[in-house]
Amino acid sequence: MRCGGCLANHSQANVLATPTRCSHSGFASSFNKSDFPRRMSMSERHGREPDETVLSDEAAAELTRIATEVIDIGEAPPLAPSSPLTKAEVRGILISLLLAMFLSALDQTIVATALPTIGRQFNDVSNLSWVITAYLLASTAVAPVFGTLSDIYGRRATIVTAMSLFIAGSLLCAVAPNMMVLIVARGLQGLGGGGILPIVQTVISDVVSPRERGQYQAYFSGVWVAAGIGGPILGGVFAEHLHWSMIFWINLPLGIGALALLLPKMAKIPVFHRRRKVDWSGGVLLMASALAVMLVLTWGGNRFAWASPTIVALTGAALLLALSFIWHALRTPEPFLPLQLMAGSVVPWAMAAGGFAMGAMIALTVHMPLYYEVVYHLSASESGLALIPIAAVSVGGAAIAGRAMTHMIHYKRVAILGTGFAALMACALAAVAPMPLWLLLVLLSLFSLGLGTAFPVSTVSVQNAVARAQVGTATGAMNFFRALLASFTVAAFTAILLTALGGNVPLAGEHRQTGAQVAAIPAADLIAAFRYVFAAAAAMLAAAAICVVTMEERPLAGPKLPAELAE
């Protein structure tokens, strides 16, 4: 090994075996004064003259001025890069990751249709909403935590932890003897489920280059659509024909199967994590502030009035905890979530674009069933089927954008055009209403197609803009802020409808248990109120397009395109 200070060739084995210092640099060397005579005598025994190199004073002084750098071997990359994975290996890893993600997504929807059955068995209807809320709160709060931990302890350890928590929570849910145990078990299940998504997206970033990564985002979107559509159907079948606990028992073989498929392949995944001290104080402050914010958005205007003492106190607590987290992060050498990571010309704009798109899609999905039932007199099951254009068609938009990123240098253009087109479709929904049901579904499909282009572009842009050792942290933060913005949007759309209708009406899914109140809402009033909702969705997609335009378009790492090779 060549020493930077004296330019002598030292044996690497001796460097590691005898850590004495070289006089010219901070590197370890095996040469010292006691060794020198012995080495000279060995040379003389072989009949060779000893080498004598005498440097002038000027040369010696020049060598001492050469800058040297001491490298911490613990943080050094492998001596040889890992060999690239074959397409078959990537496909095997992808299948196991998609199965894990499907479990996490499924448990956000499969419980909904079984809630009445669960409430009857436990004779507790007042706390039923917590079965959903506990999972939502826990999964949202831990997303950035698991993302950061995967950058510290590695993907294998964190995915095993997340899946184990999810499986343990599912088991406790299945055998829960009362409602309180079920709610606590759902929270435990949410801790695992919330960690699965950011780790899955991070693992894909480890095995696929950013240029090729966009096309895989369509698979993830497809999993969420399948879970969103199949979850309520499967939950209803289990609750009606078998037992409601089957919606949790089914997670055990699927979860164990996903781990059995994934773990043997984890050894082939490149390692980019870096061990460091964990900022547990920052993590706790981040989770606590997230829980307070989510409770405000979940309870405000629903369980409690927005001006009630409970909501005001929760809002103050959320603000205080968020400020405490920021204060702590700015004064900690290695904070749990580096605030500098959220700055720059790429990450904040990409996160905002994906958050606006996600918020508009989730908020419309929550409120459109009311529109279908009042305006078009659809049943609850028919309204559920009418939601498919919003959720399913977005997968097509994500697939188009992902493939475009593989073949285009200026990959932002497809997201700019897509989100701008979605904003125009939302404007059309606001302007043309009322309209035939088929036309409404067509416009919603076109809206969703354009909206879907934002997801792969924003996700890949975030991961492409940060250091390898921070991809997990950035991915977890991205999912966290998307979930928060979606919750904000649902609450905002609910406030818009309540203001436009001028009273308390069943919203956000409550109308399914109060058909009489739904029938009492005049269709013309609801059409007029939804004009403002569609206009708000148009504004959000326009904001998403502006964010993509503002975001710096950095070259994507990966195989060169023909146009790039020509340059």
How buried is residue 422: exposed, middle or buried, by Cβ count under 10 Å (0-12/13-18/19+)?
buried
Q: Are 388 and 229 in contact (CB under 8 A)?
A: yes
Residue 9 sits at φ, ψ, to 5 deg, of -90, 105
Domains 88-278 and 337-567 share a fold: yes
Q: Are 406 and 215 in contact (CB under 8 A)?
A: yes
Contacts of 423 (CB under 8 A, 6+ apart): 450, 538, 539, 541, 542, 545
Within a 10 A sphere around the Cβ of 398, how many other Cβ atoms?
A: 29
- What is the distance of C-alpha 205 from the center of its chain? 12
Tell me what percent of the chain is helix, strand and coil, each rounded to the nearest 5.
75, 0, 25
3-class DSSP string for 181-224 = HHHHHHHHHHHHHHHHHHHHHHHHHHHCCHHHHHHHHHHHHHHH
Backbone CA torsion sign across 351, 353, 354, 359: positive
pLDDT (0 to 100) of residue 11: 38
Helices (H), 300-346: 309-330
- Options 1.20.1250.20, 3.40.50.300, 3.30.930.10, 3.90.1300.10; CATH for 88-278 is 1.20.1250.20
Amino acid at residue number 335: P
So what's the pLDDT on residue 509?
44
Q: What angle do CA 478, 483, 485 make, to 5 degrees?
A: 95
Distance CA(296)–CA(290), nearest Å, equals 10
Residue 504: per-residue pLDDT: 53
Q: What are the residue ranges of helices labelled H in 208-308?
A: 210-241, 246-249, 251-266, 280-299
Domain boundaries, the chain: 12-70, 88-278, 337-567
Q: pLDDT tens digit string along 429-438?
A: 999 878 899 9
Annotate 104-116 with b (16+ C-beta within 10 A) or e (fewer): bbbbbbbbbbbbe
* 3-class DSSP state of 21: strand
Q: Low-confidence residues of the chain, pLDDT below 70?
A: 1-86, 112-113, 126, 214-215, 218, 236, 239-240, 267-268, 270-276, 278, 336, 380-381, 503-520, 557-567
- What is the pLDDT at residue 357? 92
pLDDT at 563: 54
Q: Which of 95, 393, 108, 136 is nearest to 230 (CA)?
A: 108
Distances in whole angstroms, Cα of residue 332 to Cα of each of 327, 339, 475:
9, 11, 21
Q: Count CA atoms within 13 Å of residue 393 on its CB side.
A: 20
Q: How far apart are CA 426 and CA 428, in angstroms?
A: 5
**What is d(CA 52, CA 303) in angstroms, rounded to the nearest whole number?**
88
The three-state secondary structure class of 225 is helix
* pTM listed for this prediction: 0.70
Is residue 463 within 8 Å of residue 213, measured between CB atoms?
yes
β-sheet bridge partners, residue 9? 2
CB 493 within 8 A of CB 536: yes
Contacts of 490 by beta carbon, 8 Å cutoff, 6+ apart: 297, 359, 362, 363, 366, 367, 508
Backbone angles phi, psi at 55, to 5 degrees: -95, 145
Cβ(314)–Cβ(296) below 8 Å: yes
Q: What is the pLDDT of residue 506?
A: 54
Which pLDDT score, from 0 to 100, does residue 276 have? 67
Percent pLDDT > 90 in the chain is 11
Round to whole Å and give the CA distance between 185 and 167: 10
Which pLDDT score, from 0 to 100, does residue 140 have?
Answer: 82
CATH fourth-level superfamily of 337-567: MFS general substrate transporter like domains (1.20.1250.20)
